[in-house]
Structure 1
Amino acid sequence: MAAFTLAHLSDPHLPPLPAPRLAELAGKRVLGYLNWTRNRHKYYRREVLDTLVTDMQAQAPDHVAVTGDLVNLALEAEFAPALAWLRQVGPADRVTTVPGNHDAYVRAMRHRFAETFADYSRGDAGDGRISYPFVRRRGLLALIGLSSAVPTAPFMATGTLGRAQLDALEKILVELAAEEAFRVLLVHHPLRSDSRPKRLTDSAGLIALIERHGVDLVLHGHDHIHSTMWFEGPDGRIPSLGVPAASALARGRHPAAAYNLLRIERDGNAWRCEQAVRGIDNQLTVREIRRIRLI
């Protein structure tokens, strides 16, 4: 069976931010808007995002995974441009996305992501309704989408899956164990975090599930850095990969925009997965940063 190439980008935080209506600037959004106007607008740039996506498309991946934070403050005016951008990335059968905390920034908009990006965040089975977790089978892959996106208090960016989602995930993992599929778990928040305000609150439950039932790869965003973490599974170690924000210029400890390109193939009775990382340099061109065999 031919190799499958999966591209992974995250946290586009689609710029520019549309002007909010006065009625929308309440509570947490006030702080987020001030942060954007004073700071974030300098570093999150549309030309960076477009350059990165153009390079990614030139690599001709079989599928693209986008692990959340498509928008910034979950303003109503942000969602239509974000959908237009996602359609430029690729059609819904070639692109899968899950929500991030900024996509559910305030309680009134917590379901807007699923409504807007339904075609990109819907499983293959069921009655067409959006629910998490979902499964999409693409070539060698079984893509498993989770939602860790929940509204939080000011100065907090935690994520939560909840008992119902974890229970449903366990059933999915049990079913997939009987199939010959490379299982890729998509979630916005990393499984392990040193930051209490940014952590996945029920990560222990998720880690316990993958330790017991296994997946082959975890892809996440949220931290805006290059990240490789390893977790124990029933058949060996499981890599978990994060990437910088897809529209970002480098600043402080946060590197410039990058994406993962993962080549996956069957190697006898086992899987082989090679990771290439491609990112923006100081001249705003994209180059390969590193290449490594993960599995």
Structure 2
Amino acid sequence: MKILHLSDLHFPTPIPLHQLKGKMIIGYLNYSLRRKKKYPLKIWNSILQSIQTIGPDIIVVSGDITNVSHETEFREAEKILSELPQDKVFYIPGNHDRYTKQAVGENAFYEKYFSNLSGEAIAQNSDYIRVKKIHDLYFVGWDSSFPLSILDAYGRVRPQIVTRTLQILKEKKIRNYVLVCHHPIWNPQHRQETSHHKLLNREEVASLLKEKPPLAFLHGHVHTNWVKFPGKELPYHVINSASSTRIPDSKHESGFHVIEIQKQNLSIQRYTYNSEQSKFTKAPLISYSEKE
């Protein structure tokens, strides 16, 4: 089973300023002035070429398709992502897809455009738990994001969501699964996040997951790649593939990972964008043990 893991695509979508309100204005100006040039569509085209070459069985996108959650962005992202083999994809939202209050709730744009590709909704009230079986492997998606102030990008997964997920796995007799959540459950020591950016209750979530650990925890949010090998506290791989469509630089070793699963064994290959060759090429894995 071969999984191609993408995250934080942040597709560059022009939006007239008169259509923006409140927080969206500041966010869009920040994106346009500081980040837009770092996300050329040629990198997405190179990802599509890589998909043709690699031939993954499954493609996971762990959030942040948009920048400020404007409907124009979701509409454009739907067109762009339609180039993927739709029967093979699994999506979850990121904090930029829940940027404003209008981006959550019953009529949220993410659900309007991507709900059918995000698996079966198994939750009550506003809780977000999605389950999708692709081939012989189950994927469980959580939404750790909600609208915040312009200075915050932290996340939270309520403990009830974790316990309900464990119940679902038991009820459906699911033995092996991959968990997908936008915010990291672990960071390398030199990449520790502030309380304004991290998954606030990550230790609580990790403790509850010990009852039935996933094969891997796939995430994004921090725009550089890494892999954490299984350890005592988190007995599973933690894999960050953000930001897949960003031009790599000294502070952002971005790209994506291809994960091969045979029974319960994982092998992982990292890919980065090679500007000289205008394509993605294999790169050394950036990996850590749990104590690092």
User: What is the TM-score with the length of structure 2 in the denominator?
Assistant: 0.86
Quickly say closer, same or farther: Cα 1:272–1:163, change in 2 above 3 A: closer
Aligned counterpart for 2:98 among listed residues 97, 100, 104: 104
RMSD: 2.6
Q: Which residue in 1 is equivalent to 2:227?
A: 228
C-alpha contact 2:118 2:132 (8 A) present in aligned 1: no
Equivalent position SS for 2:196: helix
Cα distance in 2, alignment partners of residues 286 and 24 from structure 1: 35
2:109 corresponds to 1:115: no
Cα distance in 2, alignment partners of residues 109 and 227 from structure 1: 29
Cα distance in 2, alignment partners of residues 250 and 61 from structure 1: 23
Q: Which residue in 2 is equivalent to 1:41?
A: 36
Map Cα deviations across residues 199-232 of structure 1 (whole Å, 9 max, x no partner): 1122223211222221111110110111222454
Cα distance in 1, alignment partners of residues 159 and 235 from structure 2: 25
C-alpha contact 1:8 1:65 (8 A) present in aligned 2: yes
Equivalent position SS for 1:213: coil
Map Cα deviations across residues 107-161 of structure 1 (whole Å, 9 max, x no partner): 11222212210111122x879x997212112223111111112111111111122
C-alpha contact 1:12 1:69 (8 A) present in aligned 2: yes
Aligned-residue identity in percent = 23
State the Cα distance separating 1:162 from its structure 2 match.
Answer: 2.3
Equivalent position SS for 1:212: coil
Structure 1 unmatched ranges of 5 or more: none
Aligned counterpart for 2:71 among listed residues 55, 71, 76: 76
Equivalent position SS for 1:197: coil
Q: Which residue in 1 is equivalent to 2:179?
A: 185
Equivalent position SS for 2:51: helix
Equivalent position SS for 2:284: strand
Quickly say closer, same or farther: Cα 1:126–1:182, change in 2 above 3 A: closer
Cα distance in 2, alignment partners of residues 126 and 146 from structure 1: 11
Quickly say closer, same or farther: Cα 1:103–1:293, change in 2 above 3 A: closer
Equivalent position SS for 1:39: helix
2:274 corresponds to 1:281: yes
Quickly say closer, same or farther: Cα 1:204–1:138, change in 2 above 3 A: same
Cα distance in 2, alignment partners of residues 208 and 73 from structure 1: 33
Quickly say closer, same or farther: Cα 1:131–1:50, change in 2 above 3 A: farther
Q: How does 1:128-139 map to 2 (within 5 A)?
A: 132-139=128-135
Map Cα deviations across residues 225-263 of structure 1 (whole Å, 9 max, x no partner): 1122245479x831100013121112341124x211111
Equivalent position SS for 2:133: strand
C-alpha contact 2:227 2:286 (8 A) present in aligned 1: no
C-alpha contact 2:226 2:285 (8 A) present in aligned 1: no
Q: Which residue in 1 is equivalent to 2:155?
A: 159
Quickly say closer, same or farther: Cα 1:225–1:192, change in 2 above 3 A: same
User: Greater shift after overlay, 99-108 or 134-143?
Assistant: 134-143
**Aligned residue pairs: how many?**
278
Q: Which 4+ stretches in 1 moved above 4 angstroms?
A: 230-234, 291-294
Structure 2 unmatched ranges of 5 or more: none
Q: Which residue in 1 is equivalent to 2:235?
A: 237
Quickly say closer, same or farther: Cα 1:20–1:109, change in 2 above 3 A: farther
Equivalent position SS for 1:134: strand
Equivalent position SS for 2:239: strand
Aligned counterpart for 1:265 among listed residues 262, 266, 280: 262
C-alpha contact 2:257 2:270 (8 A) present in aligned 1: yes
Equivalent position SS for 1:247: coil
C-alpha contact 1:11 1:67 (8 A) present in aligned 2: yes
